[in-house]
């Protein structure tokens, strides 16, 4: 049954640099990285060594806790380097691509003829299983569990988010196959959130799932927000989520028998030269996007894999994340502003509180940078200040403080099972106390995983 939700809380951030819907180039990088650090809860065990040849779809890492969960190579080529950090922590496997795109043949399959065990095995062998994220906690889904439901948000309301119809309009047959496959893995339903702000969505034609329309400001497109309105997560519940990128990859696997992770990536942000789309693989080096930031010094540029609110800062020597189809280019804000908040004009600044005159120019886009315009200070005590930008039935300040203090009982009471850090990104943006609220929630989740496992 289709449902319509109108969310009155939230905040749209008018940042400049939205991508024009055209693909300017296809990036074929010489080096591609497989990064185990982007998968929460994944303890990597090496399956390859330097100099080993790999095919697209060849396993390169396995999870020590669950050896069936694999990370596979997104290209064919040779393992060039194993990158380690402090205490020999495995950071990345660098694969030198041979340009041949030779891949493991997993065999095309008719999903309707498969059972749940066969679908699960196909996703595990191909390395696509990590697209399935388990809530609570946002870890890779446990193959031994059957989720209550599976949730998909077909759109994003994050700043400068890629256009859903442009990115996935031509891949709907594969996404339908992905839906049919995932429906076999749950005892409940596959729920798909549709963009109620758009005139039409290609995802509205999907079958074999429950469709729900969400209209409102960011974070209305976050799957966590949608879950809280459709069927909230209780302590004993397990649900899985997956992105449209993952659905498309799963559909291609069953249709062609090949691993295909190439996707349209939006290059966005105030520092982007002619923001547009490129076709790229996860693990593509950030310097492959250099034509879009030109000669900007690395010290003055922040390269973010993902959106500007909840993406990861990877720098010019980093890589596009496994789950991401957006690169955001921001200026590092290091300048001190004359008079600061005392200045009553500040026409170049956006204010969510109508402190400046930005509210008189609702269509204006701002060349925002990373400047916090102040230092960390005590939390604002009024929880309602943060709740007005968070359309969820939780107490964001109390939850963040409980996470900071490590009080598990209070974390449970205030909603830790329902959220991931990204869900409170708007609270962090409006926070006059300049606190890293997402990091606090991450700290609380890590404690829950440690103590409650």
Determine the Cα angle at 20 with ends 16 and 25, to 5°.
120
CB 293 within 8 A of CB 272: yes
Token duo for residue 439: 């990091």
Peptide bond into 136 cis (omega under 30): yes
Instruction: Count Cα atoms within 13 angstroms, Cβ side, for 324.
Output: 29
Give Cβ neighbours of residue 167 (< 8 Å, ≥ 6 apart). Answer: 244, 263, 264, 266, 277, 325
| Residue 133 DSSP label | E
The pLDDT of residue 336 is 72
The pLDDT of residue 345 is 65
Domain borders along the chain are 1-28+104-335, 29-97, 383-452
Residue 253, beta-bridge partner list: none
29-97 maps to which CATH number? 2.40.50.100
The pLDDT of residue 374 is 75
The pLDDT of residue 373 is 76
CB 280 within 8 A of CB 270: no
**Which of 441, 444, 419 lies closest to 431, judged by CA?**
441
| Residue 358 DSSP label | G
Token duo for residue 257: 């028998």
The pLDDT of residue 338 is 64
Record the pTM: 0.95
The pLDDT profile of the chain, 453 residues, written as one tens digit per residue, is: 578 999 999 999 999 999 999 999 999 999 999 999 999 999 999 999 999 999 999 999 999 999 999 999 999 999 999 999 999 999 999 999 998 889 999 999 999 999 999 999 999 999 999 999 999 999 999 999 999 999 999 999 999 999 999 999 999 999 999 999 999 999 999 999 999 988 789 999 999 999 999 999 999 999 999 999 999 999 899 999 999 999 999 999 999 999 999 999 999 999 999 999 999 999 999 999 999 998 888 778 999 999 999 999 999 999 999 999 999 999 998 777 666 656 666 667 787 877 776 666 778 899 999 988 777 777 766 778 899 999 999 999 999 999 999 999 999 999 999 999 999 999 999 998 889 999 999 999 999 999 976
């Amino acid at each position: 049954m289709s449902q319509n939700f109108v969310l009155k809380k939230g905040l749209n951030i008018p940042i400049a640099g939205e991508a024009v819907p055209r693909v300017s180039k296809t990036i074929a990088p010489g080096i591609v990285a497989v990064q185990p650090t982007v998968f929460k809860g994944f303890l990597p065990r090496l399956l390859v060594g330097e100099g080993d040849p790999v095919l697209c779809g060849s396993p390169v890492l396995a999870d020590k806790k669950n050896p069936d969960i694999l990370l596979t190579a997104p290209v064919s080529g040779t393992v060039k380097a194993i990158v380690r950090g402090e205490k020999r922590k495995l950071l990345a496997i660098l694969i030198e691509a041979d340009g041949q795109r030779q891949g493991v043949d997993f065999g095309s399959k008719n999903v309707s003829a498969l059972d749940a065990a066969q679908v699960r095995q196909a996703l595990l062998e191909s390395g696509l299983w990590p697209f399935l994220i388990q809530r609570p906690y946002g870890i890779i889904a446990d193959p031994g569990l059957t989720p209550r439901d599976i949730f998909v948000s077909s759109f994003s309301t994050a700043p400068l988010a890629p256009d859903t119809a442009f990115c996935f309009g031509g891949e709907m047959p594969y996404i339908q196959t992905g839906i049919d496959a995932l429906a076999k893995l749950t005892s409940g339903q596959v729920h798909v959130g549709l963009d109620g702000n758009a005139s039409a969505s290609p995802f509205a034609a999907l079958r074999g799932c429950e469709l729900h329309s969400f209209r409102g400001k960011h974070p209305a497109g976050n799957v966590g927000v949608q879950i809280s309105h459709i069927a909230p997560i209780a302590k004993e519940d397990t649900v899985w989520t997956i992105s449209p990128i993952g659905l498309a990859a799963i559909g291609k696997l069953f249709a062609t028998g090949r691993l295909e992770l190439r996707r349209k990536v939006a290059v966005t942000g105030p520092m982007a030269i002619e923001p547009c789309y490129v076709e790229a693989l996860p693990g593509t080096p950030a310097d492959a996007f250099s034509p879009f930031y030109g000669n900007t010094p690395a010290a003055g540029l922040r390269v973010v894999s993902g959106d500007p609110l909840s993406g990861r800062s990877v720098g010019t020597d980093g890589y596009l994340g496994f789950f991401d189809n957006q690169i955001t280019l921001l200026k590092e804000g290091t300048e001190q502003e004359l008079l600061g908040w005392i200045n009553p004009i500040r026409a170049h600044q956006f204010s969510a509180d109508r402190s400046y005159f930005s509210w008189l120019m609702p269509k204006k886009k701002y060349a925002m940078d990373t400047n916090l315009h102040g230092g960390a200070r005590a939390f604002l005590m009024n929880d309602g200040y943060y709740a007005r930008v968070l359309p969820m039935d939780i107490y964001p300040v109390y939850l963040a403080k409980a996470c900071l203090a490590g009080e598990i009982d209070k974390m449970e009471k205030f909603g830790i099972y329902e959220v991931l850090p990204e869900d409170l990104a708007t609270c962090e943006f409006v926070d006059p106390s300049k606190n890293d609220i997402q990091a606090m929630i991450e700290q609380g989740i890590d404690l829950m995983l440690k103590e409650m496992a």
